[in-house]
Structure 1
Amino acid sequence: MKITAVEAIPFAIPYAKPLKFASGEVATAEHVLIRVRTEDGIVGVAEAPPRPFTYGETQAGIVAVVESLFAPQVTGLRVTEREVARARLGRTIGNPTAKAAIDMAMWDAFGKTVGLGVSELLGGCTDRLRVSHMLGFDEPAAMVAEAERMIATHGIRTFKVKVGRRPVDLDIAVVRALREAFGDGVELYVDGNRGWTPAESMRAMRRLADLDLLFAEELCAADDVLGRRWLVGHLDVPFIADESAVTPADITREVLGGSATAISIKTARTGFTGSQRAHHLAEGLGVEVVMGNQIDGQLGTACTIAFGAAHQRTSHRAAELSNFLDMTDDLLTEPLLITDGELRVRPGAGIGVEIDPDKLARYRTS
């Protein structure tokens, strides 16, 4: 089970419709496929989706750090030595999605080696997750129309609404339009991507107080320490820490400091090993958990399903799993299929997916 090689393959697949939000816009999935090869001929795979405007990683940067630094540090390890790999990669600050993809590819290789699914190995709580769909910036009518399409086509009835624009009136109009269009038939929550100040966030949430929102996420920056504590202390819905609470230390600081009452776990930035740490800490602290989305492709989404379905706390809420629907194509031989608002854990060993070599050849950019 020793690792003989780690590959980082950049690829680019356009989105049919760009996703727009307060911290940026994504028009093309410029991701990196990570492949971990073992001496037994097993190949573990994972997807690293860079988000330069959030974590500072770029596609070229992920390829460079994996090839020049991370691959030599894990080559020669057994795929079971994930803690050793984590410690070695942890000596380098940053590069969260590069590290996460190597970790998940090691888990995939391990699952394929022993003939078990990763979700079983992680906990095996359930075999499916409800799906939440992210609605990016647009006019109210367009966002309602997109939600209608998701309900009719895929049975999705939970929506994460991107907010954080100035003035706040347009975002308020969007959320109201969604509630008026669907009534109690959908679940709604909002994500500001740090776009507002604490005062703007408070004004917006007061005006949305009658809409029965599930959560508010990252409405303002965590760096505004006192302002965010003041905001969270006055809200009557859980406040999700996302990019401000990646590591266990971040989570502890934000929750115990009164700056968050829930967290988002994204396997794309913490892998399976780091995500387990975050999950168990959230369980100990008694905060809610939502499985988030790094605007992953189908491979990354399959990883999120595998982890989220493995644990009771992460399978309780709808998970953000549908943004691959906006991509014009993908790399998997067998596409993911959302049915009745749910995605199932892929059967088979490891993560349960295979990469189509023809599609990889078509979209790779190296």
Structure 2
Amino acid sequence: MKITHLETVPYRIPMKKPLKFASGEVHHIEHVLVRLHTDDGLVGTTDIPPRPYTYGETVESVIAVINTIFSDALIGADPLDRAAIHSKLHRTVGNQTAKGGVDIALWDLIGQANSTPVHRLLGGFAPSLEVSHMLGFSPTQAVVDEALSFTETYGVRSFKIKVGRRPVSLDIELVVALREALGAEALLYLDANRGWNATEAAQMLAGTADLDLRFFEEPNDAAEVLTRRQLVTNSPIPIVADESAPNLGDAAREIQTGGANALSIKTARTGFTESQKILSYAEALGLDVLMGNQIDTQLGSVATVTFGAAFEHSSRYPAEMSNFLDMSDDLIASPLEIKDGHIHAPTVPGAGTAVNEDKLSHYRTDR
């Protein structure tokens, strides 16, 4: 099996409502669908979410790097030779989501060629993952109502609460209201998206000390080296590296130098291969990991459950996979369902990323 040509398709889907957080807001999903075609007719598919304000990638840069520099590593290659392909890809610095997406497409081909779900090829630990829902900025009662609706409708009992870049007292009020409404059994954790300094983040920790929060993700900018490490040392709950740990090397640096003591893994930026390395590193050190959300479509979320449910260590906590419900539509051929707070891993050969061609034709922006 050899890769014969590449396909990169930009597309745009509106959100039902904007998702707002400390580092920005999203009104439309503007992603790149990538397909690797082979000489035996198989097609490996992935969804790439450029995040210019997080990683510096854009729709245009993803398409350019794949169609030019990465094509030299991919055209004529056997997808099974992943290590050789990655060695060539990694000669190019950055371009994290482009590299991660290509890896998922390679695994999709490998699964199809072996008539086996990628979830099983990776490890097949659990048939499903529990879902955590990400709550964006809105008035307190609206956020509480959204959380209660997800609990009632989908059985979701875990919530990431977006905080930061606004008065600490307002976010403390929000967390208090959520805990009172959802009860002691709900798993709640925070994500400030680097929106505060360390002093404000410490105030948030003090003001929510009796609310049984589980994690605090990116409370301030990890580049604030001294104060970030002081915050990690003094925090009663794990500090999660997300944007500060977009790859294996950065994750190791943040952990080894005291910038965090837990990790967010996002298959959208580290694919399956590098995500497994990060997971193994975390497990060896006894670190908690969260399967994170890159404001993923269903195509992105199916990759999360494919990987996260494959391993015991990545299945310990609910995974952020429900925000595709905030989108007006999706390209996936077999839509995901959240039942009893879980999403099941795909059982078809490959990664479950096949697309609805009519919807792709409708939403693509390169016509």
Fold match by TM threshold 0.5: yes
Aligned to 2:292: 292
Aligned to 2:327: 327
- Answering whether residue 203 of structure 2 is matched by residue 203 of structure 1, we say yes
More moved, 169-178 vs 335-344 = 169-178
In structure 2, how many angstroms separate the alpha carbons of the residues matched to 1:144 and 1:188? Answer: 12
In structure 1, how many angstroms separate the alpha carbons of the residues matched to 2:121 and 2:24? Answer: 36
Aligned to 1:43: 43
Aligned to 1:246: 246
Aligned to 1:314: 314
In structure 1, how many angstroms separate the alpha carbons of the residues matched to 2:248 and 2:52? Answer: 22
Q: In the comparison of the two structures, how many residue pairs are matched?
A: 366
More moved, 295-304 vs 163-172 = 163-172
Amino acid at match of 1:295: I
Could you tell me how far 1:208 is from its partner in structure 2? 0.6
- 1:269-317 CA-to-partner distances (Å, cap 9, x unmatched) read 0001110110111111110111001011011100000000011100110
- Answering whether residue 57 of structure 2 is matched by residue 75 of structure 1, we say no
Q: After superposition, where does 1:262-281 map in structure 2 within 5 Å?
A: 262-281=262-281
Q: After superposition, where does 1:105-116 map in structure 2 within 5 Å?
A: 105-116=105-116
In structure 2, how many angstroms separate the alpha carbons of the residues matched to 1:269 and 1:247? Answer: 8
Secondary structure at the aligned position of 1:53 is classed as: coil
In structure 2, how many angstroms separate the alpha carbons of the residues matched to 1:345 and 1:30? Answer: 25
- Whether contact under 8 Å (1:11, 1:360) holds in the other structure is yes
Could you tell me how far 1:360 is from its partner in structure 2? 0.4
**Structure 1 residues not aligned, in runs of 5+:** none
Aligned to 1:167: 167
In structure 2, how many angstroms separate the alpha carbons of the residues matched to 1:2 and 1:155? Answer: 44
Could you tell me how far 1:96 is from its partner in structure 2? 0.7
Could you tell me how far 1:192 is from its partner in structure 2? 0.4
In structure 1, how many angstroms separate the alpha carbons of the residues matched to 2:249 and 2:70? Answer: 23
Amino acid at match of 1:152: E
In structure 2, how many angstroms separate the alpha carbons of the residues matched to 1:245 and 1:318? Answer: 20
Could you tell me how far 1:333 is from its partner in structure 2? 2.0
Aligned to 1:86: 86
**Structure 2 residues not aligned, in runs of 5+:** none
- 1:232-268 CA-to-partner distances (Å, cap 9, x unmatched) read 1111111111111122221222112122110000000
- Answering whether residue 340 of structure 2 is matched by residue 340 of structure 1, we say yes
Secondary structure at the aligned position of 1:196 is classed as: coil
- Whether contact under 8 Å (2:96, 2:246) holds in the other structure is no
- Whether contact under 8 Å (2:46, 2:353) holds in the other structure is no
In structure 1, how many angstroms separate the alpha carbons of the residues matched to 2:160 and 2:14? Answer: 22
Secondary structure at the aligned position of 2:83 is classed as: helix
More moved, 339-348 vs 352-361 = 352-361
Amino acid at match of 1:92: T
Amino acid at match of 1:102: V
Amino acid at match of 2:263: I
Amino acid at match of 1:213: L
Amino acid at match of 1:176: V
Aligned to 2:32: 32
Amino acid at match of 1:77: A
- 1:72-116 CA-to-partner distances (Å, cap 9, x unmatched) read 321111011111111111111111111111110010011001101
Moved over 6 A (4+): none
Secondary structure at the aligned position of 1:149 is classed as: helix
- 1:195-234 CA-to-partner distances (Å, cap 9, x unmatched) read 0001110011100101000100000011001101100111
Secondary structure at the aligned position of 1:52 is classed as: coil
Aligned to 1:146: 146
Aligned to 2:190: 190
Secondary structure at the aligned position of 1:221 is classed as: coil
- Whether contact under 8 Å (1:130, 1:318) holds in the other structure is yes
The two structures have a TM-score, normalised by structure 1, of 0.98
- Whether contact under 8 Å (2:119, 2:346) holds in the other structure is no
Change (3 A) 1:353 1:46: closer
Amino acid at match of 1:329: D
Aligned to 1:136: 136
In structure 2, how many angstroms separate the alpha carbons of the residues matched to 1:157 and 1:192? Answer: 20
Could you tell me how far 1:181 is from its partner in structure 2? 1.0
Aligned to 1:352: 352
Question: Root-mean-square deviation (CA), in Å?
Answer: 0.9
Aligned to 1:260: 260
In structure 2, how many angstroms separate the alpha carbons of the residues matched to 1:18 and 1:147? Answer: 16
In structure 2, how many angstroms separate the alpha carbons of the residues matched to 1:173 and 1:63? Answer: 43
Aligned to 1:5: 5
- Whether contact under 8 Å (1:165, 1:171) holds in the other structure is no
Percent of pairs identical after alignment? 51
